[in-house]
């Protein structure tokens, strides 16, 4: 399978992958490896605004630099569905325009092809070809009736 046109990286997932606290350095290393693995894909990095405050003060400066140079986007505060809703809408818009989009995240985002992330030695590896769309079954709401009291 050819590389997707766009790979959206959930910054929160990758910065915190298998770590107690998120790391900007880990995010940057993973994105570098992704760009090497899929050189024809456009890589878009999207995060939750709360990510900044979970990083160390030094990493916050690096993150601000990425934002100021438009290399990373934080979903607008109050986005419907949070940053994952923001990502889902980006995937829907891309699909309507005929753009193939894959998302790297550990969250279930309906109707979005999700690629797994793993580490082989010192490199991050992304399973772009095996990206699978998440399906979320709908269920009918359960309404309980109150017992009549006498």
Beta-ladder partners of 119: 124
Share of the chain above pLDDT 90, in %: 69
- 149 lies in a domain? no
- Of 113 and 138, the one with more pLDDT: 113
pLDDT digits (tens, 9 = 90+) for 1-14: 578 999 999 999 99
Please give the tally of structural domains in the chain: 1
Rounded to two decimals, what is the model's pTM?
0.84
- 115 lies in a domain? yes
pLDDT digits (tens, 9 = 90+) for 90-111: 999 999 999 999 999 998 888 8
CB atoms under 10 Å from CB of 80, counted, come to 8
CATH number where 14 lies: 3.40.50.11980
Q: Which domain holds residue 54?
A: 6-133
Interatomic CA distance for residues 150 and 129, integer angstroms: 63
Would you state the pLDDT for residue 111? Answer: 85
pLDDT digits (tens, 9 = 90+) for 72-81: 999 988 888 8
| Radius of gyration of the chain, Cα coordinates, nearest whole angstrom | 18
- 32 lies in a domain? yes
- 24 lies in a domain? yes
- 125 lies in a domain? yes
């Amino acid at each position: 399978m050819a590389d997707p046109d766009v790979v959206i990286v959930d910054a929160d997932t990758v910065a915190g992958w298998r770590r107690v606290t998120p790391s900007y350095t880990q995010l940057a290393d993973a994105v570098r490896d992704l760009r090497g693995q899929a050189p024809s894909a456009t890589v878009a990095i999207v995060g939750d605004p709360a990510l900044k405050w979970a990083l160390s003060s030094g990493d916050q400066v690096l993150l601000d630099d990425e934002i100021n140079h438009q290399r990373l986007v934080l979903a607008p505060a109050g986005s419907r569905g949070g940053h994952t809703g923001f990502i889902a809408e980006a995937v829907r818009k891309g699909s309507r325009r005929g753009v193939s989009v894959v998302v790297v995240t550990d969250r279930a985002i309906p109707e979005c092809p999700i690629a797994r992330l793993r580490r082989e030695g010192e490199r991050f590896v992304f399973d772009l070809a095996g990206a699978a769309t998440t399906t979320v079954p709908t269920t009918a709401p359960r309404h309980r009736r109150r017992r009549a009291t006498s």
